[in-house]
Each structure stands twice: as structure tokens, then as C-alpha cells.
Structure 1
Amino acid sequence: MTETISAAAGRDLPLPDAVLWDMDGTLVDTEPYWQESQVVLVAEHGGSWSREDGDSLIGSGLWHSARVLQEHGVKLSEQEIIDRMTDDVLVSIEKHLPWRPGARELLREVRDAGIKTALVTMSIRRMADHIAAAVDFDAFDVVVAGDEVEHAKPHPDPYLRAAEALGVDPSSCIAIEDSPTGLASAVAAGTTAIGVEHHAPLRTDGDFVHRATLEGVRLDDLREILSRGRLLADLPEGDA
């Protein structure tokens, strides 16, 4: 998404009705914990698991990840694989919960401004609730977890469900993601999406605002990003 719009920016622009947050890799840097669990689990069943294998699953639903692990020789059911990986990651989180730069600060500013929020993750509910409870303020109005949606990301269902639960139109929301899969979900749902590049490379010309970090991102930035997204959405097809 292009970085330039008209000069009308700043405090006169509307705030989003809601900010929808991805969790793993966006709010907290748990992706290395998931990949460590995958390496150990595949090795226990006589196989090998590369960094590229792990990167290919970033942003995917856990049931898809479980099937890929089965293809690599893990002789457990999908649910057993999901439970095992979730348990492993929870143990690692108890030792250290690594927040992504700027994420907690922006989340706090959004909440202090009275803006609705949702946590939209493909992790299962007990993992999502654990992370939400680790925030030392009332962070989320709604949690949408991977075991509660019919279709996982990149399908728009998770973000549509979050917007519906908050009682807002997706087009009035900003979604913050770190993976191509998650961004595809957010964009398809009609939100204005911010892609914060981390473990997975992101396009710089996609239908989202590309950011290297959330450090220094403030409410006025969200106003401008939302207005830019609405402006581009209103352009005739092919003019963006």
C-alpha cells in the first residue's frame, strides 16, 4: 500500500472503531517457542524439521500445522499434536514472555483512548487466555481463538467474527499482523491492515501498510493509516 495520501492527517482524522491484534509474532514473540516444539516433536518420531519447515507454518491454523507434522512422521492425532505443542509453548512462556517492540505500549494507548480491541489468534483458547491474562491491564474486549472458528487464517472468518463480536464494521477496524497468512485474512475481511515484518518476509507492495516495527507508532499514526486505507478502498479498481 502506498505511503502517501493527502495532507489531511493527524488529530482531525477519525480513530478506528477497533484495533484487532494477532498474537504470535505480533503481540508476543512466541514463534521461536512453537518452532522449538516442532523440532523436538518431529525428532522424537525419527524425523527432521528445518527452519524453513517452521517458517512455512507461521500464521497458519494449528490443525493445518498438525497435519504437516504428521506428514513429517509424527504418529499422533491432530489434537494430540496441538495439545503437546501448546503445553511446550506454555512452559516456555512461564520462563519468559517476550513482548514485541512497541506492541504493549500501543495496546495500552489504544485502551486508554477507549478504543475496542480483540485478540485474533490461531492458537487455541487456553493459550490465548493465558497471554491475555499476562497483560497487566484490561487489554481485550474479545478473544477469537483458533479452536473457535470454522475457517482458519487466511480465510477472513477470524477477523469477521471479531468485528461482529465487537459490534463494529470491519472497514472501521485496523488489524495488526506479522505473517502473509494473517494479513490475507485481515485484508479479505475488509479491515485496514498493518503488516509488521518479523520472522516471515512481507511484500512491500501489498494491500496493507508495511512497518518494520511498532515502536513509536501512536494513535495519530493509526488515524492516518485508517484514512489511507479507506481512501484506497474507495478508489475505482485499478487506480490504487
Structure 2
Amino acid sequence: MDGTLVDTEHYWMAAEEELIEAFGGSWGPDDALALVGSGLWEAAAYFQAKGVTLDADAIVARLTERVREQLAEHGVPWRPGARELLQALREASVPTALVTMSIRSMADDIVAAIPFHAFDVIVTGDAVENAKPHPEPYLTAAALLGVDIAECVAIEDSPTGLASAHASGAFAIAVPNFIALDDLPAGALWPTLDGTTVADVAALLTAREVTA
């Protein structure tokens, strides 16, 4: 979701910097990039190590609420082509799942801003035992959809997300945002989703079946 469907990573980075500074610490670009795609409770441990004297749940709640405030103030910034591809997939009756390490309230805010029924299933970071890069989030989504994970395509923008998708057995498409994704475990590397079609996605699975 964050960085793939919507361009909210800069909202998270701003919230992270504010949190660290509130506890007298400093926050740089390397810190922000280190957490892209991470589970929120895993990220909480990072903040605690940097001097934030809150428990993990309080850190997650504080960061999430600050991002939700920015969404309310500035709106939902969609990634190029993402909403259009999602709508085309829905019109083609392709089952879809949102697999995000944000918590459910945050995911619900984003989904509510989509002017069509976008997802059959939503899997969030507070609904799984193991966050990305573990395969559990994607395996959970496939199970809830009632489909074989090997027939699924996952679109990701972070090394952590790609690792999760690849480990699950899904066909992973890397679409970089803040972090270069070259030489990572992905079936395809697309510079953008802008202009992509259902046929483009289907062709990836067809090609994999031919080479399998």
C-alpha cells in the first residue's frame, strides 16, 4: 500500500522524524530508508533503540495517527497508474488483496478514498504474527481469497515487501519508489505502473508457466 498504491512514504518519514525529535534524537535519510516496508512493531524496536521511551503499541499508534492526520490534511497521493490498474483488474473480475504492514485503521482510510470496490481481502500488519519479509502476509491473503499463491501476482516497492512476496511463491513485480530494486528477488522490474494493463500482468504469469 504505502509506496505502491499510494505515495505516503514521505508522510511516514515526517512522522518518524517528529517522533525522534520529540525525544531529543536525530533522524536522517538512512534511518528513514531502513524502515521502508517494515512491520510497524519491528520499526518500534528501532525507535526504542534510538531513545524513544514509549512501548511498542504507543509508538505504532502515534506514528499511525500522525500519518492519518497528514492524509486528512493533504489528501491521498496516488502512485502513477496504480489506481487505474487496480480498477482495470476489478473490471476484469480479478480477485484482489491489499497486503500492507500498516494497521487496519490506516488501510481503511486509504480504501475508503477509492471510488470503487477495490479489494476482496485486506491483510494488515496487526492481523498477522509475522510481518514482511516473512511470507505469512501474502500466504494469508491467498488463503483468504481461496487461490493458489503460485497464481498470484504481488506488486511491491520495497526490498522487504519483495522478499515477502517472493518467499510466499507469488510472482513479484518490483516497482521502485524511494529505493532502487535492481538485483532483488522479483519476476519483473517495472519503472512505473503508469500505462500498464491487465494483459501486461497476465502475460507475466503466462511467461512463467511456459518457462516452468
| TM-score normalised to structure 2 length | 0.97
Q: 1:91 aligns with which of 60, 69, 77?
A: 69
In the TM superposition, residue 205 of structure 1 has moved relative to its aligned partner by 6.0
- SS of the equivalent of 2:84 reads helix
CA contact (8 A) 1:144 1:158 kept: yes
Mapped pair 1:31 → 2:20: no
**Residue among 188, 207, 212 paired with 1:228:** 207
Alignment of 1:112-131 (within 5 A): 112-131=91-110
Gaps of 5+ in 2: none
* Alpha-carbon shift at residue 41 of structure 1 (Å): 0.5
| C-alpha contact (below 8 Å) 2:166/2:185 kept by paired residues | no
CA RMSD of aligned residues (A): 1.0
How far is 1:223 from its partner? 1.3
Instruction: Name the counterpart of 1:17.
Output: none
Q: How far did residue 204 of structure 1 move?
A: 4.2
Higher relative contact order (CA 8 A, sep 6+): 1
The match for 1:212 among 191, 195, 210 is 191
Quick check: 1:63–1:82 contact (8 Å CA) kept in 2?
yes
Q: CA 1:173–1:47 in 2, change beyond 3 Å: closer, same or farther? A: same
Q: Which stretches in structure 1 are left out of the alignment for 5+ residues?
A: 1-22, 235-240
Give the aligned residue type for 1:167: G
Structure 1 length as normaliser, TM-score? 0.86
124-133 or 203-212, which moves further after superposition?
Answer: 203-212
Structure having the larger proportion of residues in helix: 2
User: Does the 8 Å CA contact 2:162/2:185 hold for their aligned counterparts?
Assistant: no
- Rg larger in structure: 1
Contact 2:158–2:179 (8 Å) recurs in 1 = yes
Q: Does the CA-based 8 Å contact 1:171-1:230 persist in structure 2? A: no
Alignment of 1:33-182 (within 5 A): 33-95=11-73, 96-182=75-161
Q: Supply the distance in 1 between the matched residues of 2:22 and 2:153 (Cα, whole angstroms).
A: 41
Instruction: Flag as ranges the 4+ runs of structure 1 deviating above 4 A.
Output: none
Helix, strand or coil at the partner of 2:96 = strand
| Identical counterparts, % of pairs | 51
Tell me, in whole angstroms, the C-alpha distance in 2 between the residues paired with 1:32 and 1:230. 38
For 1:110, give the aligned amino acid: L
